[in-house]
Amino acid sequence: MKVALHDSEKHDYPNLALMKLSAWHKAQGDSVEWFSPLVGGYDRVYSAKVFTWGRRDPYLPEGTIYGGTGHDIRATLPDEVEHICPDYSLYDCQQSYGFLTRGCIRRCEGCFVPEKEGGIREHADVEEFARHREVVLMDNNTLASPHGIAQIEKIARLGLKVDFNQGLDARLIDDGIARLLGKLKWIRHTRMACDSPAMIEPIRRAVELLRWHNVNPAQLFCYVLVRDVEEALERVRFLKGLYVVPFAQPYRDKSGAEPTKAQKDFARWCNQKAAYKTCTYDDYKPGMAA
């Protein structure tokens, strides 16, 4: 069978579902390649799309199998594909990717996870997908699961370097969790999220505990959801005072509606560290294009 894979976004991270599909089909003796509208003759085409914005590729043939939140929130991989080690050669990966847990205990506005995955549950052992010394975890709330915490202990024992790419829930970082996180090796950041004023005190407490237990990534890092710009600015000011690096994310609703110009301008200032480190947002605003 001749199989073609289509990544709708080609963003900074490889598409995990496509890597698993590639591994499974190759194990069946099928040939696997990237989709090209100039080639054709495919027996099966898969298209994966993570985000809800952006149009569907008009060159994909009839009968294409679509998956990912951007295409179909209900689509899932069969268990035999879900629990295969990904084909890291597809993107020439130098890191491993996977989920220890699925789902989340929170129901944050605009998040697809409660609808798509439900409550927190055990998913996999890290050794199922770890084939490199660096492992990027895509879990939505690892700390909410006893299995997730047990896997963090295992990662520490194995000496793997780790990145919790979706962030750690600061509300769940107590002294014991901070002590455990202090045993880990980090790829770069320890990530959390400060998406509302209610997160300010949990972040403050988490940062205090992480530093007390010598969590030593290159940076402590916080995602900052931007709805009201002035309110988001207060959270960024707070994070800067803690020497925590903010990353602003302009809010999109579930339809993927375009953020406002003010939200995008604020994110541009916050995320371009040359600007963030040399001027305040009030100083930056007069230089923005109308």
128 shares its domain with 155 = yes
Q: CA 234, CA 257: separation in Å to the nearest integer?
A: 25
**What is the domain extent for residue 122?**
94-162
Confidence of residue 133 (pLDDT cuts 50, 70, 90): very high
What rounded mean pLDDT belongs to the chain? 93
27 shares its domain with 112 = no
* pLDDT (average), residues 102-124: 86
Confidence of residue 11 (pLDDT cuts 50, 70, 90): low
Q: Which residues pair with 226 in a beta bridge?
A: 250
* pLDDT (average), residues 29-54: 92
pLDDT score of 9: 86
Three-state SS at 192: strand
30 shares its domain with 115 = no
The pTM of the full predicted model, rounded to 2 decimals, is 0.92
113 shares its domain with 205 = no
Q: CA 222, CA 248: separation in Å to the nearest integer?
A: 9
The answer as to whether 180 is a domain residue is no
Provide CB contacts within 8 A for 173, sequence distance 6+: 143, 181, 202, 205, 206, 209, 210
Closest CA to 249 of 226, 272, 233: 226
- End residue of a domain, out of 107, 130, 162: 162
The answer as to whether 79 is a domain residue is yes
Number of structural domains (the chain) is 3
Confidence of residue 72 (pLDDT cuts 50, 70, 90): confident
Whether 53 shows a pLDDT value over 70: the answer reads yes
| Residue 151, CB-side half-sphere exposure with 13 Å CA sphere | 27
171 shares its domain with 275 = yes
Phi-psi region of 236 (alpha: psi -120 to 50; beta: other; left: phi over 0): alpha
From residue 198, how far is each of 170, 177, 190, 231, 261 by CA, in Å? Answer: 11, 21, 20, 12, 25
Q: Which long-range contacts (CB under 8 A, 24 or more apart) does 51-55 make?
A: 51/9, 51/256, 52/252, 52/254, 52/255, 52/256, 53/252, 53/256, 53/257, 53/258, 54/8, 54/9, 54/256
